Structure 1
């Protein structure tokens, strides 16, 4: 017991500091959570925050697209989210003639709002605890493979019983490292239209340079509208659909915020690994992040050069580049943060304490004695395979796009598909691919990707096409790529369509060099997944039991479940932080920073003259901060991660004060270890959002839809 005392004393000492860590399930908020929220300033009763029986705040929060959050802000289905969340939709509607990325978009009437094919918005309808139904079947299964398979089978049956279709989506999610299960049911709205977006000089101001950084001056917002049937139900797009009336619409505050004011986010955080072991941390740094950083930097440099040389290429690749560079810089920051904050060593210390706790009892030894052995074996045994899989997937699955196209074609069952099914694939997959594809650019990427894989992947794990390529092209992968693109049919949408509609020509397509390359890469990736699969079940079992053990070890400590892209609440306060010795960052930025950073020679910091003139006039009116200026962005210590982008930030009265869009560079290790002194959420001030809509967009019709509180 003596070894436990230092850790227990440490937990007691920091409990007040760390009390705000956690992305909490709203249906599981306990007395400790609610008391802490009240202590921080929250004024309202719990059922106003979350209830499935009556209208409540959480019912206004939505999944926007496939990986972001949004907030319904009007009785007519108006949705606020981030500019970078809407970026793909804005890009898909843009052209050289109508460059909504560069120039922005303003609709002055509902009729002028632009439908976005393929975009959906999901409202959470209900959450059902299905733990008992699943555990009743799997709890006695000792083989982890069989246990997971059984849980998946039961989950599928449960979802089918509720009904999965175009307008309703159900899924069972595991929580607390597969110790608890909830089924989430969503209404899916597929008629979503672009209403307003600022130009990228506002919505993406600072570009890659400012990404994950503070101070920030980015107006990261865009506006969409959800449409529904006459009876206010989810429905596919039709010109005659009506604006959706949400169950709840929050008030929008013009009152601003002060240091230490209450701040709360509700959103759909994607993924965290707060209970990751030391071996897992090491694998993330060395075998996942480092290969990803290397490959993406090579690809992004090639893309960026082409984008700077051509507006047409810039529009085609803007969304792809943003998605790639965001996670690239995240990986760089995470490795830096994990090292600077000694996260690996801290995880090792926790594991020592866990081992000591287990050793104190025969019952604990029987239940948890193999946990650390399973984790060490699983991670160390998979390190090499994880690194190889990362290089292969980054270079080929996410790098050279022609391999992705060939894989799309390979996945089509031409012999057994109906003409209607083939037409659907052509219309919704193949045409979408070619719309944003530049073959000459991809040729350069392919050569570079082939080279980095040859350099980093051991010979025995290379795709089996490499020996023949090396023999013919003598290691000149640029020449190989040029020859492939000269001979392939995959750069022609007409030839691809012809092959998909004609089984005989499809068979001939199998001799295409891009088809052969894609198949060879696929086999290597599948082989790596098999090698990894042999270790992943040890890891899964170890992590499940490790969390259960920690829960027993600290019975009075509230442990939140890792994020899994389901709705969570995070509570905290507005405030600045100390990034390093002798420095302090205040909690908000103003228009002054735009003029300090603005650079007409930089594509990241260039701003249109009319926007600069607008800010210079300082006609901020009700959107000003009371000191003759206007706040643009602000900081809070809310616990968020990817997926929270677009999350509403509420004040103590549950009024909207901002939209979360980023985290800070100094705490990029936050997905693995929350750092209360450093970790900050960066949000765009809602007053800046409204200013741009009103003063720049001259679109008061949208302002009039909101429930403003002055």
Structure 2
């Protein structure tokens, strides 16, 4: 018995030590030894090999933000429902609501095109630090930036990619290293299938970032190519893309401590910040941004709950605003619970003991962050205004247009881009509802911001009720809200006609009180804050580069990985439950029974389609049940993920698809700043549930016939 206990303890200790700092590894530099110690059965070359087919050829960046993977020899793509949400919404109307009803093409002829959507393959990665930093010794500031840009441009020019490829050079470790990526972009991406939101978004905002979870967060697309299998613009003559590699799908049962790895495009992390930076995020920056979104979400929710058309129009916007709002709250709690600031302070003292020169770096970082703090806090509040108020976002866009016209920098390209951006906003914009949002965020800004950062007379905006009357009155005659006409048209009726006579439009815009309001806010921000916060940040960034180099040089026992920056990465861990609070223990797997337990008939978050209920009642599970006799829905593991990993494949020890990454556990969302293996869990849709929905719910067996399913 003692031997067994010792063995289990040793295994746990190895895992905890191995994942002490998490890891988002460049796929050409994965920690293969450690991965194999944790259970991986394939080689690093099987994951990424620029010279032959490997798993990397089945993993793409989806539409510039999420990740997706190829799961058939006919270019079938799997990603999250929330990653495909805008595209599903764009094909939806009140009469044909694909968000509510779901969508399943009956064959390839029924697949729906999505103009502008792209997927990117990474075909090669090379470290090019020597080339990029050549001749930069002794340079700093703008001179250093200019030399790095010159070297980067020279490197890219020296390469000879194919016509359908591009080269991108990315800094790593705060500019201490550089890597070049060869990218191939495919542009004809068609919607194949999506479950109804009652499955794909089950739990909606209540369950977002939360475990236990019961969400079928997946959607399906297909890559199309020209007759030579190369990238091409959309054409009815294009054919399904033939991949170099696609992922077999495993529906074998999972066990706790099974090895798993996630392959995708994590967006941004800051794992190597000094303690003072983490303290500012936790106590000042995150709370400020949360407070602005509090009032926005409450205002939108009141209308969305009683008006179905508003619910459809604002669904994507609400989800986008609430996503970060809830994440920041979990981040604060996790940073406190894991004692992130204290641990970083201890780590800094350990580094200083080994290398006294680091004390000067840390002291200067402490000073700079303290001096920057009031300006950074104002930036946090100010930047949230146009992110929450579309009226202020419109005022910003139109105001920038007026400036461009008056200083002679306007061009047809910039005008076309502006019209496209405006059309996106107006498509789902309600002036009256947004006036209420605008009124409330203006009141919050007026009440929370020190006088030194406010425009003269802005005390008049401290009352949200009075602001509502003011903004609604302005909106009735405003060109930007669609209440007023210019050149005989409104922005809703004919946006091209609105821009037909530039001089008339500019005159109207300059007299618009909403544009004048935002211009006043912007000018004050630029005058009081922008240069200050930027100047401090420039100094901080230079010191952070030094601090990063010092950490790598001093801490010889630690294996370092670069912070995420939307480049292709590998992270690995084990299938694992968690113990986030005293006397609270979470298992690693949820099941269909849990979906039914949460069911609230007619509720916008926890409604369940009748067919899914019938499948549960009849236990018509087929091969998709596990040893419990139920269908597994979601599971958790210790993979270190972040935004951008949405839609990433979760793979087993042999490189088979076992899940689809879509979220993190709320108690561990601070993993962007401080990974803690005790708290940090990524959440995945089980492949059994995905295939169960496709097969039993959607009756889309023609899609299953494309796949290689491992039973």
Fold conserved between structures, TM > 0.5 = yes
In the TM superposition, what is the alpha-carbon distance from 1:559 to its structure 2 partner?
Answer: 1.1
In the TM superposition, what is the alpha-carbon distance from 1:529 to its structure 2 partner?
Answer: 2.6
Match of 1:645 in 2: 646
What is the alpha-carbon distance in structure 1 between the residues aligned to residue 91 and residue 409 of structure 2? 30
Structure 1 residues 193, 463: closer, same or farther in 2, change over 3 A? farther
- Deviation per CA, 1:172-213: give whole Å up to 9, x if none: 211112110112231112211111000111111111111111
In the TM superposition, what is the alpha-carbon distance from 1:394 to its structure 2 partner?
Answer: 0.6
Match of 1:459 in 2: 451
Number of equivalenced pairs: 684
The correspondence for 1:140, drawn from 138, 148, 171, is 138
What pairs with 1:56-95 in structure 2 (closer than 5 Å)? 56-95=54-93
Match of 1:39 in 2: 37
**Is 1:215 aligned to 2:230, yes or no?**
no
- Deviation per CA, 1:282-307: give whole Å up to 9, x if none: 11123320011100010011111111
Match of 2:387 in 1: 398
Match of 2:192 in 1: 195
Range 427-436 or range 290-299, more displaced: 427-436
Structure 1 residues 273, 14: closer, same or farther in 2, change over 3 A? farther
- TM-score (normalised: structure 2): 0.92
In the TM superposition, what is the alpha-carbon distance from 1:505 to its structure 2 partner?
Answer: 1.2
Contact 2:646/2:662 (<8 A) preserved:
yes
In the TM superposition, what is the alpha-carbon distance from 1:587 to its structure 2 partner?
Answer: 1.2
What SS class does the counterpart of residue 382 from structure 1 fall into?
helix
Structure 1 residues 369, 278: closer, same or farther in 2, change over 3 A? closer
What SS class does the counterpart of residue 85 from structure 1 fall into?
coil
What is the alpha-carbon distance in structure 1 between the residues aligned to residue 409 and residue 534 of structure 2? 32
What is the alpha-carbon distance in structure 2 between the residues aligned to residue 47 and residue 519 of structure 1? 54
What is the alpha-carbon distance in structure 2 between the residues aligned to residue 664 and residue 657 of structure 1? 19
In the TM superposition, what is the alpha-carbon distance from 1:316 to its structure 2 partner?
Answer: 1.2
- Deviation per CA, 1:160-181: give whole Å up to 9, x if none: 5558999544322111121101
Structure 1 residues 195, 463: closer, same or farther in 2, change over 3 A? farther
Range 477-486 or range 565-574, more displaced: 477-486
Range 496-505 or range 613-622, more displaced: 496-505
**Is 1:19 aligned to 2:11, yes or no?**
no
Contact 2:275/2:345 (<8 A) preserved:
yes
What pairs with 1:261-340 in structure 2 (closer than 5 Å)? 261-340=258-337
Structure 1 residues 464, 166: closer, same or farther in 2, change over 3 A? farther
What SS class does the counterpart of residue 181 from structure 2 fall into?
strand
Match of 2:420 in 1: 428
Structure 1 residues 329, 169: closer, same or farther in 2, change over 3 A? farther
Range 499-508 or range 647-656, more displaced: 499-508
**Is 1:490 aligned to 2:480, yes or no?**
yes
Match of 1:123 in 2: 121
Match of 1:477 in 2: 467
The correspondence for 1:97, drawn from 95, 98, 109, is 95
What is the alpha-carbon distance in structure 2 between the residues aligned to residue 502 and residue 151 of structure 1? 43
**Is 1:384 aligned to 2:383, yes or no?**
no
Match of 2:47 in 1: 49
What SS class does the counterpart of residue 137 from structure 1 fall into?
coil
In the TM superposition, what is the alpha-carbon distance from 1:518 to its structure 2 partner?
Answer: 3.0
- Deviation per CA, 1:362-386: give whole Å up to 9, x if none: xxx3xx4531133112211111111
Structure 1 residues 620, 474: closer, same or farther in 2, change over 3 A? closer
What SS class does the counterpart of residue 572 from structure 1 fall into?
strand
What is the alpha-carbon distance in structure 1 between the residues aligned to residue 58 and residue 530 of structure 2? 40
What is the alpha-carbon distance in structure 2 between the residues aligned to residue 505 and residue 156 of structure 1? 42
Structure 1 residues 170, 466: closer, same or farther in 2, change over 3 A? farther
Where structure 1 has 5 or more consecutive residues not aligned to the other structure, the ranges are 1-12, 360-364
Range 509-518 or range 522-531, more displaced: 522-531
Structure 1 residues 522, 229: closer, same or farther in 2, change over 3 A? farther
What is the alpha-carbon distance in structure 1 between the residues aligned to residue 457 and residue 265 of structure 2? 42
- Deviation per CA, 1:299-322: give whole Å up to 9, x if none: 011111111122211111111111
Structure 1 residues 16, 540: closer, same or farther in 2, change over 3 A? same
Structure 1 residues 18, 565: closer, same or farther in 2, change over 3 A? farther
Where structure 2 has 5 or more consecutive residues not aligned to the other structure, the ranges are 1-11, 483-490
Structure 1 residues 155, 310: closer, same or farther in 2, change over 3 A? farther
CA RMSD of aligned residues (A): 2.4
What is the alpha-carbon distance in structure 1 between the residues aligned to residue 211 and residue 701 of structure 2? 31
What SS class does the counterpart of residue 339 from structure 1 fall into?
helix
Structure 1 residues 163, 195: closer, same or farther in 2, change over 3 A? farther
- Deviation per CA, 1:43-79: give whole Å up to 9, x if none: 1122111100000001211111232111111111111
What is the alpha-carbon distance in structure 2 between the residues aligned to residue 691 and residue 454 of structure 1? 52
Structure 1 residues 110, 166: closer, same or farther in 2, change over 3 A? farther
Range 517-526 or range 163-172, more displaced: 163-172
- Deviation per CA, 1:648-679: give whole Å up to 9, x if none: 01111110010011111221221111111221
Match of 1:180 in 2: 177
What is the alpha-carbon distance in structure 2 between the residues aligned to residue 614 and residue 164 of structure 1? 51
Match of 1:229 in 2: 226
- Deviation per CA, 1:134-184: give whole Å up to 9, x if none: 21122321x344323432443344445558999544322111121101122
What is the alpha-carbon distance in structure 1 between the residues aligned to residue 372 and residue 615 of structure 2? 56
Match of 1:7 in 2: none
Contact 1:131/1:181 (<8 A) preserved:
yes
Contact 1:171/1:183 (<8 A) preserved:
yes
Structure 1 residues 16, 42: closer, same or farther in 2, change over 3 A? closer
What is the alpha-carbon distance in structure 1 between the residues aligned to residue 244 and residue 60 of structure 2? 12
Match of 2:503 in 1: 504
Structure 1 residues 353, 156: closer, same or farther in 2, change over 3 A? same
Range 511-520 or range 174-183, more displaced: 511-520
Match of 2:3 in 1: none
What is the alpha-carbon distance in structure 1 between the residues aligned to residue 327 and residue 149 of structure 2? 31
Range 346-355 or range 698-707, more displaced: 346-355
Structure 1 residues 426, 342: closer, same or farther in 2, change over 3 A? closer
Structure 1 residues 474, 706: closer, same or farther in 2, change over 3 A? closer
Match of 1:362 in 2: none
What is the alpha-carbon distance in structure 2 between the residues aligned to residue 294 and residue 532 of structure 1? 21
**Is 1:150 aligned to 2:147, yes or no?**
yes
- Deviation per CA, 1:461-504: give whole Å up to 9, x if none: 1245737x669x99921222112212211122147543422121
What SS class does the counterpart of residue 645 from structure 1 fall into?
coil
- Deviation per CA, 1:432-452: give whole Å up to 9, x if none: 221111111111111111101
What is the alpha-carbon distance in structure 2 between the residues aligned to residue 373 and residue 189 of structure 1? 48
The correspondence for 1:358, drawn from 341, 345, 355, is 355
Range 306-315 or range 155-164, more displaced: 155-164
